[in-house]
Amino acid sequence: MSKHSALNTFGRSGNPAFTRNFENTESFSQTERMTLDGAVNKTAILLGLCFAGAFAGWNVPALTIPGLIIGTILAFVTIFRSPAKAGSTAPFYAAFEGMALGGITVFAEMQYPGIGIQAIGLTFGILASLLFCYKSGIIKPTENFRLMLFSATMGIFLLYLVSFIMSFFGPGIGFIHSNGIFGIGFSLFVVGIAALNLVLDFDFIEDGAEKGLPKYMEWYGAFSLMVTLVWLYIEILRLLMKLRSR
């Protein structure tokens, strides 16, 4: 089946996983099209796999690095090579990324007991709050709102990338990891941007279901939401570690 642009997703989400063009939906029957319930169910499946992977990573911390590497590779493959195959790659992404998160949380717990449950609680509390704000219309994803979040997300990604490269030659960008006022302020900003990306993810999934995107987009939408949740959890964990180290 030939592929061509049907929806410019830049206007729908700041999540990099959504900034792709997809197949035209006119050739798909109603049963082959994306539904909101389908995307929700697949998100629940990925969350379950992520928790299962986290349980493994928690009990075998040696799985942290392999899980992180394989999960990252699967994420890039899904986004840039085969979004139509998200049904095959997304479950493995969730499981391996869960292993990484479980191991990371173990190391954080060794320094700050109880921090893991705090980070999980805040992550899902933010998810529920923003879903309520989105559905009630308190937060509306306007075009300017999307553009601002997309720009901020890309800016954060580039800053992290530059800091990572600099770390090979020196200390990197210090305030990113600092527990001082600038470091905490930066983490608060990043948590806010990651959280607001959830609103755009909700909007994209709902809009995709209304437009009747192909069925595989249920998996891709769930995968993309997982990408944001993983990012949000890590940033919340980093913020809590900074606060508790003061």
Strand partners of residue 33? 214
74: its two tokens: 């699967």
Q: pLDDT band for position 171 (50/70/90)?
A: confident
Report whether pLDDT(93) > 80.
yes
pLDDT tens-digit profile of 94-151?
A: 999 999 999 999 999 999 999 999 999 999 999 999 999 999 999 989 999 999 999 9
CB atoms within 10 A of CB 7: 20
Task: Write the single-letter amino acid at 164.
Answer: F
What is the rounded distance in angstroms from the CA atom of residue 186 to the CA atom of residue 190? 6
Tens digit of each residue's pLDDT (9 = 90 or more) over 59-72: 999 999 999 999 99
Whether pLDDT at 13 is above 60:
no
Residue 207 and residue 12: Cα distance in Å, rounded?
8
**Structure-block tokens of residue 22:** 């997809």
- Yes or no: say if 67 and 99 are a contact pair by the CB < 8 Å rule: yes
Is the pLDDT score of 50 beyond 60? yes
State whether the Cα torsion 148-176-185-122 is positive or negative. Answer: positive
DSSP 113: T
pTM: 0.86
Read off the pLDDT band of 31 (50, 70, 90): low
Q: What is the mean pLDDT of the chain?
A: 87
DSSP notation for 37-67: HHHHHHHHHHHHHHHHHHHHHHH-GGGHHHH
Give residue 24's pLDDT. 44
pLDDT of 73 over the 80 cut: yes
Query: What is the structure's pLDDT at 7?
Result: 35
pLDDT in tens, 200-245: 999 989 999 999 899 999 999 999 999 999 999 999 999 999 999 8
